[in-house]
Amino acid sequence: MKITVVGGGSWGLALSKVLSDNSHEVLVYDINEKIVKKINEKHICLQLNEDIPKDIKATNNIKDAIDHSEVLLFVVPTKVLRLAIASFVPHLSSPKLIINAAKGIEPETFLRMSEVFEEMIPKEYLKGFVSLSGPSHAEEVIKGMITVITASSEKEENALFVQDLFHNSDYFRVYSSTDLKGAELGGGLKNIFALASGLIAGKGLGDNARAALITRGLVEMGKIYESYGANPQSLTGLTGIGDLIVTCTSVHSRNFQAGYKIGNGKDLEETLASMTMVVEGIRTCEAAYKYGKAHNLEIPIIEAIYEVLFCNLDPDNASKRLLGRNLKSE
């Protein structure tokens, strides 16, 4: 089957490798000519310097990308997602199934990514929407290391279609789910706590503190799940605690790396300038903080992380404030 992948970054090419290994015909679209050339001429992922299958092709011609397939896999940072969608919409002439692998929530609107697609793509051109999420690092997937994720859609047939599309019995197992809200929220919110986990590591606060962060972070995620109307059971699945664990404990996580640098004394501007990839957790933290305030949610960890990132709160003072709150039952 022909598949168009929008975004030639590390995660886009890792997923392209899975599709290619499953004998699908993959065309990657990217606006960066350097990335397109690296794919077509050198057959490597520029960001990770890893080989990719030679049958993966790339283009910066948007019409060629759209005409290639009825399935569009979007793998672009959430902050440029609207720009990417806007560039595609004028060229659409037939319904497309949208698969999204980017994770986050819009700070301004509190919209999930599926809602952004629904808002921007005319109904006659939107065949369906599926979120691909779970504990997965591009650095491992591109090497064919064992990974298990979830395809989520409000329409079960779409989730099952994507499950079959990506499942590879050698290294890439895919579950299906109809809790799209839970999958999208988990995929976005876990990045906030990965930032905090990196900060804990950078400050040398130890594994006990990290375990407490992950556990209490799940509680705060649950409050946001409930407010959005997501299924709380998704918290215990791959898109919830699964994604949270891998992002909070792995040096592969760009959010963990960013938090580590902040814990070592760098401010937010310095940290972002030193990162080679987008740190999604910063934008999602802003969204979750504002959403919590708007809906009167008690999410003290998210509030503390927000103030460290955006209000110059010293991490040590943030820690003291969290530990000094009124005692309560679990």
What CATH number has the domain bearing residue 136?
Answer: 3.40.50.720
- Does 190 participate in catalysis according to the annotation? yes
Grade residue 277 by pLDDT with cuts at 50, 70 and 90: confident
Distance CA 259, CA 196 (A): 6
The predicted pLDDT at position 35 comes to 96
Q: Which of 121, 153, 178 is the last residue in one of the domains?
A: 178
Q: Which of 178, 209, 236 is the last residue in one of the domains?
A: 178
Backbone angles phi, psi at 77, to 5 degrees: -55, 145
Helix (H) or strand (E) holding 151: strand 147-152
Grade residue 11 by pLDDT with cuts at 50, 70 and 90: very high
Distance CA 66, CA 61 (A): 9
Q: Is 261 helix (H, G, I), strand (E, B) or coil?
A: helix
Q: Which of 126, 158, 178 is the last residue in one of the domains?
A: 178
Nearest Cα to Cα of residue 76 among 109, 46, 113, 108: 113
130 plus 241 within the same structural domain: no
71 plus 161 within the same structural domain: yes
Distance CA 309, CA 255 (A): 12
Grade residue 109 by pLDDT with cuts at 50, 70 and 90: very high
Pick the more confident residue, 276 or 191: 191
Q: What is the DSSP string of 49-93?
A: TEE--TT-EEES-HHHHHHH-SEEEE-S-GGGHHHHHHHHGGG--
Summarised one tens digit per residue, pLDDT across range 161-188 is: 999 999 999 999 999 999 999 999 999 9
Domain boundaries, position 318: 181-323
Of 190, 266, 290, 328, which residue is the catalytic one? 190
Distance CA 72, CA 64 (A): 12
DSSP secondary structure letter of residue 41:
I
Output the average pLDDT for the chain: 96
Distance CA 285, CA 314 (A): 17
Q: What is the DSSP string of 98-112?
A: EEE----B-TTT--B
Query: For residue 328, is it within any domain?
Result: no
Summarised one tens digit per residue, pLDDT across range 190-241 is: 999 999 999 999 999 999 999 999 999 999 999 999 999 999 999 999 999 9
84 plus 173 within the same structural domain: yes
132 plus 223 within the same structural domain: no
Work out how many domains the chain is built from and give that number: 2
The predicted pLDDT at position 274 comes to 92
**What's the chain's length in residues?**
330
CATH of the domain at 290: 1.10.1040.10
26 plus 173 within the same structural domain: yes
